[in-house]
Amino acid sequence: MLYELFSTFFKIGCFTIGGGYAMVPVIQREIVENKKWITQDEFLDAIALTNSLPGPLATNAATYVGYRMAGVLGAITGVFATALPSFLIILIIAIFFTTIKDSIVVQNIFSGIRPAVVSLIIYAVIKLAKSIGFKSKNILISLGTLLGMIFLNIHPFLAVIVSGIIGFFFFREEEQK
């Protein structure tokens, strides 16, 4: 199981440029759809939980899934495997950066990568929105959270906590019925 955790999260770390939210669709596809280690609902809960914790979303998600699959050693394996590709790439870039930083080819490559990362994030948002459903309460909480972060400069951690409290009261009624 540890080898499978390592290889899965290493692959996720290798093939996701942009980190964090750009990794969400890749993690979701591997962990939920391909490996079936957790359900879609558990994945959404994991994203909500790991998003409210300090640290990068991808490593927090790797910790959660790794722990779920193989305990503490699984959590360590997941985090290490997720971070290792980035570490190696940054190390290589640091070694050669002074010779390539002004290259028009490198600048053009990154100019192409940036919009792709934005599209990965938008894809993750759409996929997650579909999975929670387009109920009026879900839309209201989502829009309220977004507007609060944009216009009131609410910290994402506080936004998640407040949304959880609002969700408790909004959905408690449905649970009682």
pLDDT for the residue 71: 92
3-state DSSP helix/strand/coil percent for the chain, to nearest 5? 85, 0, 15
Confidence of residue 80 (pLDDT cuts 50, 70, 90): very high
Helices 20-28 + 57-100 axis angle, to 10: 120
Residue 102 has pLDDT above 90, yes or no: no
User: Among all chains, which residue has been given the structure tokens 């290493």?
Assistant: 10
Task: Report the candidate in 59, 70, 67, 24 with the shortest Cα–Cα distance to residue 43.
Answer: 24
Query: Tell me, what DSSP letter sits at residue 102?
Result: T
Please state the pTM of the whole predicted model: 0.58
For 66-76, how does the pLDDT look when each residue is reduced to its tens digit (9 = 90+)? 999 999 999 99
pLDDT for the residue 118: 87
Query: Tell me, what DSSP letter sits at residue 124?
Result: H
Residue 177 has pLDDT above 70, yes or no: no
For every residue of 5-70, DSSP letters joined together read HHHHHHHHHHS-SS-HHHHHHHHHIIIIIIS-SS-HHHHHHHHHHHHTSSS-HHHHHHHHHHHHHH
Domain range list for the chain: 2-131, 133-177
Burial of 46 (0-12, 13-18, 19+ CB in 10 A): buried
